[in-house]
Structure formats: structure tokens, C-alpha cells
Structure 1
Amino acid sequence: MFYLQFDKMIESETDEFSDFCSKLNIPVIYTSNEDFISRYLYDSTNPDSVLSNLLRAYDNAVVLRDEIGTETMAYLQLGLSTMEKTMHQAAPLMELQGVLDMLLAFWACADDYVVESETRNLIKTGRSIERIDLYLRLGIGKRELLSEYQKLSGRIDRSGIDYHRLAFVRFAYLLQCEKEDHPETDEEELRRRMISVLETLVDG
């Protein structure tokens, strides 16, 4: 999704980033498309930047080293190093593919090396919740949304997470309303309600 947004910004003279920020519910602190690309990707002092999120992910991986394995953690470290190497390049899009490759390798390695079932389900449950949130905010299709919900539904009870079951039931109901595509349903309003419910699913 960001790659598509990147292409729009390169070709546009208008502030294309405002709508993107609004969808993700992050502050519009950027002054231009160029400023957005630079700071959203690389500003380590911006808690919403890609780099900041990678740094937090790596810090979490260090804490969970015994659970996820050194080999798995190494892919996050490689992704972070690759990200930092692209920082001063004028057109970093191709190089950023290397970061994406390392993150995909991280998940593949976690699938292989994490043996303890509750830990596996905890990691994958967190990923599913994050994906569903992004799918809702960015208007990703119903098929992808339903597929991720089904994965979450099959894992959340095995993850050991203390979650609000009533919120989960409520989310399932709203998702069913969208799936059935009732003509009287305002899809944007429905997705806003789903995001609101999802935010109450897990405390903290």
C-alpha cells in the first residue's frame, strides 16, 4: 500500500500524504510529499515512522530471543541495517524491497524455529490483529479481511491472550454485516465501527 502511495507522491504536486495519515489515524505533521517520504520512512524521533517501528520490533525480538531464536531475530537486524543503508538515497524504493524481503524471511524463520505452540499462536495472533486493523483502515478487500479474521479466530484462544470475548463477538457480527453487503449498510461507517471494536479487543 505504501508503494502505491509513494508512486502517487512522486507524480503529484498536491499533498497526497494527508489522506494516508488520516486513514492510519496518525498526525499530519509533514509539510510536503518529499517531507512525508523522508520522515515517515526514516525519522527515528517520529513514533509513527517505519524506522521507529522497526527499532521497536527489534527491541521486542531481543527480549524474546529465547522464544523466537537467534536466527529469527537476525532477520529483523538485517532488515533494520538495510533500512538504515537506504536512508540517504534519493530513490530508495528498490532498496526498500530488501527490507521487505528480510521481514518476510523473519516470519518464515519464526514459523520454522518457534516450537512452543502458545508462543507461535501469540505471535501470529498479534500479526493478525495488526493486519485486520490495517485492512480496515486502508480499505483492503473483504476477501482478505475475512481470511485474516478466520486465522485470528482459530488462534486467539490458543495464544494465552486475555482478550474481551464480547468485543470479539461484536466484531464477528459487524464483519458478517459487511460480508453480506446489505444495501442499507454504509461500508465506511461499518469499518469505522469495526476499528473501534478491534481497539477494545486487547487491553494495553
Structure 2
Amino acid sequence: MTGDDFGHMAYLMLLLVFVGFWFVGAQRERIGKTLQYAAIWALIFLGAIAAVGLWEDIRSTVKPVQTVLMDEGRIELPRSGDGHFHATLDVNGASIAFVVDTGASDLVLSKQDAVRAGLDPDNLPFFGRAMTANGPVATAPVRLDEVRFGGYTDRNVPASVNDGEMSTSLLGMTYLNRFSQITIAGNKLILTR
């Protein structure tokens, strides 16, 4: 700390003391109420400091993330607030969010995620059909060069690109069948290879 910094700090402290004395003097008749407000603001300030300091712990509790336990050969996915299990996979080098969907036959990419994975939906043959909750949609079969999930890497993975509107890609059974066991225990989906 330089001399200038010390001078600035002393000035600000002196100013704070002056303003504090003026405020207490002006509020003499209502000193009890003023002290009560000061205590409330002090608690709000301490709460904000605690929230900033504990943010990483709070965030991991509110929004849990997938856990990879390679030594045990499993991946654990926490149940999300929407009741589904979500997973993040690297597809052809792009990080893509999926909803685990045991009702989906294929690993299904939305058009947006297909572009992120290096595919061109405008040049894909959408001759397949899939039944969805919103009715039939056209699909295009594709092969993904590389899919990484946790510590596992799979190559030449069959998938489909959905021609309809999808907010999230689907992790369906053709990919999930690569795991020897799929277990739901409490609020976790456990995939074991």
C-alpha cells in the first residue's frame, strides 16, 4: 500500500465517520428505530457476503451435475428439476446437452446440435420417419465420427437428425445399449459399462 492509498483510505474512513455521526445526530429522536434498520442492513450485507463465498456449494446443490466414476466404470446423472435426466456429451468435438430418453430408439440430434457437431442438415436425406408426442417427423440417418461421454469414447456411432422442432437432443436406446446396466436409484440414473 502506497502513501497515496493510505491517504485515500484515511480520507474515506474520516468521511464515513463524519456521515455516520451526522446521521445518528439527525436521527436522535428515533435512535432505536435507526439502530434496528442498521442491524437489518448489516445482516443483509453479511448474507450477501456469505452467498458470494458459498456460491459454488449452493450452485452444485441447486443444479447438480453428472459424475463420472471411471474407477468403478459408471456415470451418475442426477435427476433435474424438470424430472428428467440430462447428460452432456462431446459429439465430434462439440459439447451437446441431451435428455436421456429410453423411449427414443436412436441417439437423436436436433438440427441446431447437428450443425454444432459438424453436420449440414440442409444436405441430409430426411427419408426416415419417427413417431413423437407431436406426431410423425422426418429423420435423417447419420454416423457420428466420435462420441465422448465421461471417460468413454465411441466411434462411428449411428444416430438420427430430427427434421422437426426439438429443444434438446435425445440420448436414446441405440447409445444406451452400449452400457451393461442402466439403474435408477433415488434421484440418480446410473450407467455402468
Q: State the structure with more CA Rg.
A: 2
Q: TM-score surpassing 0.5?
A: no
Structure with higher RCO (Cα < 8 A, 6+ apart): 2
More strand by share: 2
TM-score, reference length from structure 1: 0.24
Between structures 1 and 2, the one with greater helix share: 1
TM-score (norm 2): 0.25
